[in-house]
Amino acid sequence: MKWTENSNLHHLVKSCVFHYEFEHIHPFLDGNGRCGRLWHTLILSKWNSLFAWLPVESMIHRFQERYYSVINQCNEKCDSTAFIEFMLEIIKLVLAETAEMTRKVAIEDKKVAIDSEKVAIERRIAVMKGRTKNNFQRIFNAFGFDGIFGRKDISELCGVSYAAAGKIIVNLKESGLIHSVRGAGKGKYRFGRADESDNELIVYLRNKAKEGRLMLDE
């Protein structure tokens, strides 16, 4: 273990070296493979805590046949290079898969959040009365969460003057139904909470929705 602490090699590389050498030395009658993979995980998790949740044992589960084949190949050549390359390849693959799965879960969570807020806004509009309710509903139906609008848009949509459109915007803001949109020009708004407008996942969702191809399995 002192070698892993003193070595200047990158943790990804020296953890692979230690793993192979432990397997090669084979210090116990049984359990050497499990111990080697456990130490590999421990070395990596000390470098990056992510690996505590991605144990090497789980990483190579799908590749057991190739794993043992590469170890035997290295034993014959007395060279651990192929094993290091194999493990780095597996680690890279698993990390990419994990990142993609996390992205999809996050997108699904945001979809649920957007749907929940949509229902909340519709309920709040539903309990309003008269012209205010009609105007708010018309605007929400026209722009939803995707659309960006300003005073001119509301004036044309609701058939009211600029001054009246401005009052509608003030009422929408005071009701907490809309927020200003950064980078879209002065006086531009969108339905929903302000913190969502700058969220990359929300932008991704809106773009996909506009393209008509929002699918989690894409």
The percent of residues in the chain predicted with pLDDT above 70, rounded, is: 88
DSSP SS3 for 217: coil
Range of weakest confidence among 4-8, 24-28, 189-193, 195-199: 195-199
Cα-flanking dihedrals φ and ψ of residue 130, to 5°?
Answer: 60, -145
31-61 pLDDT, tens digit each: 888 898 999 999 999 999 989 988 899 998 9
Domains of the chain in sequence order: 2-99 (1.10.3290.10), 128-211 (1.10.10.10)
- The answer to whether 165 touches 152, Cβ cutoff 8 Å, is yes
Cβ neighbourhood burial of 196 (10 Å; 0-12, 13-18, 19+):
buried
